Structure 1
Amino acid sequence: MENISTTIMTADDEPGYDPNLFCIPKRYAQDLEKVLIPYGLILDRTERLVQEVMKEMRDHHIAILCVLKGGYKFFADFLYYIKLVNRNRDQSIPLTVDFIRMKSYCNDQSTGDIKVIGEYDFSTLTGKNVLIIEEIINTGKTIQTLLSLVKQHNPKQVKVASLLLKRTPQSMGYRPDFVGFEIPDQFVVGYGLDYNEFFRDLNHVCVISEVGKDKYKA
């Protein structure tokens, strides 16, 4: 069954919110241009995405694969809402979780060299209903590389849920099955997303400033 998932569209000229209106660590005071998506809105949208996923994949054992490092906060909140749904169903859905780490960025540019960090046994996904949790789809190259590796081991089905989908001229045209927000072609940090490993500790999805890019440049 093909899933038709609705998406919140964030306009190219979205003004966002003044970071001073939120609880932002003082060390990042000059490093953020704006708060693009506040944490409360992320949580509300995540709860809705979980409802869509559970409707699509109901009554199946789901093997959830979280893409690290960026996806860890989205995954944690996503799993929390899945557990809530499971507790309130007459018949809960069995779940297993696993993690895979991939890397392709240095500073604010993709290196084009997509790597799986460490070892991962893809054969454990054979015959299973796989849900990949990703924080952001940029060009789509990373997720398509991962999907290719997963599908080589014949899962029963594979779905992808991404909190963010970026509108970028570099896009390969890939669109995940479940999308939280479609955002402009801006480099975003926070809520697990980093710039050279900084900003992951922010609760909100924010646009980094030029000052921040220069300060934390590798």
Structure 2
Amino acid sequence: NALRNDWPGYSLDLFTYPQHYYGDLEYVLIPHGVIVDRTECLAKDIMQDIGDNNIVVLCVLKGGYKFCADLVEYIETLSRNSERSISMKVDFVRLKSYHNDQSTQDMQIIGGEDLSKLTGKDIIGTGRTMKALLNNIEKYKPKMIKVASLLVKRTSQPDGYRPDYYGFEIPNVFVVGYALEYNEHFRDLNHICVINDNGKGKYKV
């Protein structure tokens, strides 16, 4: 599940995608079908590790909503067809840390209900940006916290955060699609793609 730094990706000509993004993308990094299959595998791993527990799934908006929805659906299906069941509640929080394609130092935690209700609960967080959120959640002393992220970027920083479950390790490139956005664009793109300079310029704010 690790994509090499020299991975050339897939030609855009092999896939269908919204016409309004023609000319804005470099290549398809991970096709939608591969994302879905990998998410099902993660659901099985989670079921195996924490079956028979009541959990709160904390979805990180907006970039994590498709991954979270698919992951929760697979866990529910596995739970229905298994002797080991999981009772799940889903809550939502939004972390805002990007300006154009650059990650900023300022992290805003927006929305979500009262996090004090997480005290003593098992929590699975789903999303991309986690350190600030984890620091916030840990104040409430939940029983257990596990983080599931679809993507992990390979960086030169040795202290880079590693989630408990992840779908793909990818090169340090800026990706869009499957709810990952660039200034609110590309959420309607099913595949995970690398944006090109034309796309960055067109949608820059």
**Partner amino acid, structure 2, of 1:155:** P
Match of 1:175 in 2: 162
Deviations 1:151-204 (A, max 9, x none): 100100000000000012357421000010000010000001000000011000
User: 1:114 aligned to 107, 117, 135, which one?
Assistant: 107
Relative to structure 1, the CA distance from residue 22 to residue 171 in structure 2 (aligned partners, 3 Å threshold; closer, same or farther) is farther
3-state SS of paired residue (2:4): coil
TM-score, normalized by length of structure 2? Answer: 0.97
Q: Residue 9 of structure 2 aligns to a residue in which SS?
A: coil
Q: Which amino acid aligns with 1:14?
A: W
Q: Structure 1 CA distance, aligned partners of 2:6 and 2:145?
A: 34
After superposition, the Cα gap between the structure-2 partners of 1:52 and 1:119, relative to the gap in structure 1 and judged at 3 Å, is closer
Distance 2:41 2:164 in 1: 14
1:44-76 per-residue CA deviation (whole Å, 9 max, x = no partner) reads 000000011111111110110000000000011
Q: Is the contact between residue 152 and residue 170 of structure 2 (CA under 8 Å) also seen in structure 1?
A: yes
Structure 2 unpaired stretches of 5+:
none
SS of 1:113's equivalent in the other structure is strand
Aligned-residue sequence identity (percent) comes to: 55
Distance 1:187 1:45 in 2: 20
Structure 1 segments of 4+ aligned residues over 4 angstroms from their partners: none
**Equivalent residue for 2:142?**
155
Matching residue's letter, 2:165:
F
Q: Corresponding residue for 1:4?
A: none
Equivalent pairs counted in the alignment come to: 205
C-alpha displacement at 1:90, in angstroms?
A: 2.2
**In the alignment, which of 158, 177, 187 is matched to residue 190 of structure 1?**
177
Query: For the residues of structure 2 that align with 1:37 and 1:119, how far apart are their CA atoms?
Result: 30
Shift of 1:19: 1.3
Q: Indicate the SS of the match to 1:194.
A: coil
**What amino acid sits opposite 1:204 in the alignment?**
H
Conserved 8 A contact 2:115-2:137: yes
- Code of the aligned partner of 1:148: N
Paired residue for 1:5? none
Q: Is the 8 A contact 2:122 2:142 kept in 1?
A: yes
Out of 58, 65, 68, the residue aligned to residue 58 of structure 2 is: 65
CA–CA distance in structure 2, aligned partners of residues 131 and 51 of structure 1: 14
Q: Which residue of 2 aligns with 1:3?
A: none
